[in-house]
Amino acid sequence: MALSGKTAVVTGAAMGIGQAITEKLLHNGAKVVLLDVNESAAKTLVENLSKQYGQDRTLFLSCNVESEEQLKAAFEKTVDTFGGIDILCNNAGILNENEWEKSVSINLLGVIRGTYVALQHMNKLSGGRGGVVVNTASMAGLGPLITCPVYTATKHGVVGFTRAMAGASAASGYGIRFNVICPSFVQTEFLSDPNSKMGQFSHLADVIEQMISKAGTLNVSDVAESVLEMVTDETKNGEALMIFSKGKHYVTFPSM
Ligand SMILES: NC(=O)C1=CN([C@@H]2O[C@H](COP(=O)(O)OP(=O)(O)OC[C@H]3O[C@@H](n4cnc5c(N)ncnc54)[C@H](O)[C@@H]3O)[C@@H](O)[C@H]2O)C=CC1
Ligand SMILES: CCCCCC(=O)/C=C/C=C\C/C=C\C/C=C\CCCC(=O)O
């Protein structure tokens, strides 16, 4: 899938992995709509991106993925501005075992809300152009992060939802592929002050420190390169890609 002339929507685009995905898609020719709750960071980023790629290639819309109303308004504005949506990256996420219901609402329900609203515009059966959805899960979507049971549950949910949607879309003729990335630890703000985010499991913080020092950390650009692969490779549907500091590989699941 060539990206020239395509329109992408990225959630959690103001910083970190979402920013890197945005830059990667722009660099490869797409137009990108950035959705985020951090208005000041997003506005500064879009100012810089507009200088680099042109004013008509990016748009920031303030949008909380916890709100279906805000997501609907953002996707409608995207279609009004750019004529359609070809790529959705559901990337926004938080780590907060204290506010665990909010974690579920953003990390899992936000991905489901974003996908269902986008389907109304992307589904070929309802007049859309088809395209691809890439969700950001984590290695914690495949195995347990013992300091963060709810974070782990949300990311397992994202992996399962993505794979089921891939099957549903293929069986129904929506013309949309669904894939999920499962990165190991990535060097972003997300990893700062981890003890404060682990709630009742902060006494296990040493375990995470040891995991990080053993596994190392990824650069956001490595993660964005994997997203690009899943967007452009039209053979990929229902795939989960593990990304480590020493490489990446597609997950093999038990066959049903
Ligand atoms: N940093 C890491 O080690 C890893 C992160 N991930 C996942 O990658 C994704 C991005 O994480 P990072 O870039 O590292 O985090 P980050 O904290 O650097 O950036 C997250 C972005 O999401 C935005 N955001 C948060 N809540 C939002 C909401 N309700 N609605 C819209 N935007 C919202 C933030 O404002 C921020 O711009 C998350 O889903 C995270 O779980 C996965 C594996 C490892
Ligand atoms: C401070 C913690 C930040 C967590 C950010 C994140 O999402 C990173 C997670 C990275 C890796 C650890 C998670 C779980 C690993 C467990 C098992 C993986 C098994 C994979 C497999 O082979 O099936």
Dig out the tokens for 85 from the structure. Answer: 């949506």
What percent of the chain has pLDDT above 70?
A: 100
Residues contacting 157, CB < 8 A, separation 6+: 107, 108, 141
Catalytic residue IDs = 151
Give me the pLDDT at residue 1, please: 83
- In this structure, the strands spanning 240-244 and 247-250 are antiparallel
Which one, of 142, 29, 38, lies nearest residue 86 by Cα?
29
| Positive/negative CA dihedral, 237, 216, 106, 221 | negative
Query: Using CA atoms, how far apart are residues 4 and 1, in angstroms rounded to an integer?
Result: 9
Give me the pLDDT at residue 158, please: 99
CA angle 44, 17, 40 (to 5 degrees): 20
Give me the pLDDT at residue 230, please: 98
Query: Using CA atoms, how far apart are residues 106 and 156, in angstroms rounded to an integer?
Result: 14
- Condensed to tens digits (0 to 9), the pLDDT of residues 29-43 reads 999 999 999 999 999
What percent of the chain has pLDDT above 90?
A: 98
Burial 155-164 (b: 16+ CB within 10 A, else e): bbbbbebbbe
Please tell me the residue having the least CA distance from ligand 2 atom 10: 184
Quote the ligand 2 centre to 103 CA distance (angstroms).
16
pLDDT average, residue stretch 155-160: 99
Mutational pocket test of ligand 1: of 9, 10, 11, 15, the residue with most ligand atoms within 8 Å of the beta carbon: 15
Ligand 1: list residues with CB < 6 Å. Answer: 11-12, 14-18, 36-38, 64-66, 91-94, 106, 136, 138, 183, 185-186, 188-191
Query: Does the C-beta of 139 come closer than 6 Å to ligand 2?
Result: yes
Mean pLDDT of the chain: 97
Other C-beta atoms closer than 10 Å to the C-beta of 130 total 16
Query: Using CA atoms, how far apart are residues 57 and 70, in angstroms rounded to an integer?
Result: 22
Give me the pLDDT at residue 14, please: 98
3-state secondary structure 172-213: HCCCEEEEEEEECCECCHHHCCHHHHCHHHHHHHHHHHHHHH
Q: 165 near 171, Cβ under 8 Å?
A: no
CA of 15, closest atom in ligand 1: 37
Residue 256 predicted with pLDDT over 90 = no
* 231 — pLDDT class (breaks 50, 70, 90): very high
Total count of residues recorded for the chain: 256
Query: Does the C-beta of 95 come closer than 6 Å to ligand 2?
Result: yes
Query: Does the C-beta of 145 come closer than 6 Å to ligand 2?
Result: yes
Nearest ligand, CA 183? 1
CA of 105, closest atom in ligand 1: 29
Query: Using CA atoms, how far apart are residues 243 and 230, in angstroms rounded to an integer?
Result: 13
ipTM of the assembly?
0.96
Quote the ligand 2 centre to 172 CA distance (angstroms).
33
pLDDT average, residue stretch 122-147: 98
| Positive/negative CA dihedral, 176, 177, 178, 182 | negative
Residue with tokens 């992996």: 159
- Condensed to tens digits (0 to 9), the pLDDT of residues 48-98 reads 999 999 999 999 999 999 999 999 999 999 999 999 999 999 999 999 999
Residue 167 predicted with pLDDT over 90 = yes
Mutational pocket test of ligand 2: of 107, 135, 138, the residue with most ligand atoms within 8 Å of the beta carbon: 138
